[in-house]
Structure 1
Amino acid sequence: MKTVRMGEQVTFTQGRLGKMLTQEKAQDERMPIKGLLLMLGFDTPKVLTKYGSTQREAERAALSEVERFTRSGAKVFAPPSPHRHAARSLIGRDRDL
């Protein structure tokens, strides 16, 4: 890297200047995110991701079997009620009389 003295003219190619501006913009965009992470108590985005994964796993573990089944979207087929079967028997007998 070349040291530039005050008043010395420096030239960049269009490609190099574009890269420099892109890097500067990315750095400016990361600063508020970094500040928010620090405010929330996380050092890096990786630590936040790990925390989120751990929380989701804990929530899933806390769900009851019924809640897990319900959230999975599976259909529930209850066995026929013994009372319903008895009612059918009575209706069948009435027809025979």
Structure 2
Amino acid sequence: GPLQHLQIARMRALETGRYMLRGTNNGVTAIIDHKGQLAETIPQFERAVLTGEVYSAQGSTPYMQTGSWPVLTLAAILIVFVRVRVIPKS
């Protein structure tokens, strides 16, 4: 679970193009850069202080502007196309 949550946080940092600070009690504490890479980490179940550099960002990524709508729209179009063209009418 904790490693999967770290992967989700890495994806969010990549989607938004911003640094992410992730602090947990018993998971992986990390600084994630704007490209989704781990800049600094503290392993699970270790008590420590994490230090590192974080940079602010301006602007927005295409995902921040549109969200999941382009993918959902394309999926709906493909479903309609398959229904009309491939699946025979009874």
TM-score for both structures, normalised by structure 2: 0.29
Write 1 or 2 for the structure with the bigger share of helix.
1
Rg: which structure is higher?
Answer: 1
More strand by share: 2
The higher-RCO structure (CA 8 Å, 6+ apart) is 2
TM-score for the superposition, normalised by structure 1:
0.28
